[in-house]
A and B are shown apart, each in its own frame.
Chain A
């Protein structure tokens, strides 16, 4: 059975802090790992990672995948209150298009 574990489950920081969110996984025939941000409604796509060691970056957010140790991290630097959200990690098998999600990390950024 595929498994995705995110940590921490919740995190409270102050504006300007840097945070690191973790995602470990066990999946047969791994193809990719995805990060989504969920505010009040629909999860919105952040990154898709397929290769080890290659950092993906978008503004203050970055992510990297380690396929040997089976984990990924999502970094957010200089956090803002608008970064407050649930961050979801999901893995995809190569044999189909299904995603298995972790339980998410609830990030709260206080002013």
Chain B
């Protein structure tokens, strides 16, 4: 089973460019999440979707937008990338209070 799949795995952007990170899960989970991970900062929640059709802000939502396209897919968009958004981005999914399953991450560099 694929689990949680993120694309792309790596991306380099210039400041001001836009970009959409894609995430898809095949576990029929209702909830999906986007995190960023910076050195020494652990994982910080950007946005989450408790169920299809709903999205809510997490701890660090500024500069990002999300779309829950259907039950399987949850995308993260950077409208105008900034160097401060250089990070590793993880998508996760879960069902109820079961543990979250993570994708392998997208390493994003903004010059």
Encode contact with A along B76-111: 1 for CB under 8 Å, 0 otherwise. Answer: 000000000000001000101101111111000000
CB pair B43–A45 under 8 Å, yes or no, is no
CB pair B103–A102 under 8 Å, yes or no, is no
Total number of residue pairs linking A and B with CB closer than 8 Å = 52
- Among the listed A44, A90, A97, A103, which residue makes an inter-chain contact with B31, where contact means beta carbons less than 8 Å apart? A97
What is the number of residues of chain B that contact chain A, defined by CB distance less than 8 Å? Answer: 25
Task: Collect the chain B residues with CB atoms within 8 Å of residue A21's CB.
Answer: none
Closest to A34 in B: B99
Tell me if A67 is interfacial: C-beta within 8 Å of chain B: no
Task: Collect the chain B residues with CB atoms within 8 Å of residue A42's CB.
Answer: 4, 90, 102-105
Chain A interface category by residue count: 20 to 34
Shortest 8 CB-CB contacts between residues of A and residues of B? A42-B102, A103-B42, A41-B104, A101-B43, A101-B42, A45-B99, A42-B104, A43-B102
* B binding-site residues for A, Cβ under 8 Å: 4, 31, 33, 35, 40-45, 48, 50, 58-59, 90, 94, 96-97, 99-105
29 sampled A-B residue pairs with Cβ under 8 A? A9-B40, A42-B4, A42-B102, A42-B104, A43-B43, A43-B90, A43-B102, A45-B99, A45-B100, A45-B101, A88-B42, A90-B43, A96-B50, A97-B50, A97-B96, A97-B97, A98-B33, A98-B48, A99-B33, A99-B43, A99-B45, A99-B100, A100-B59, A101-B42, A101-B43, A101-B44, A102-B42, A103-B40, A103-B41
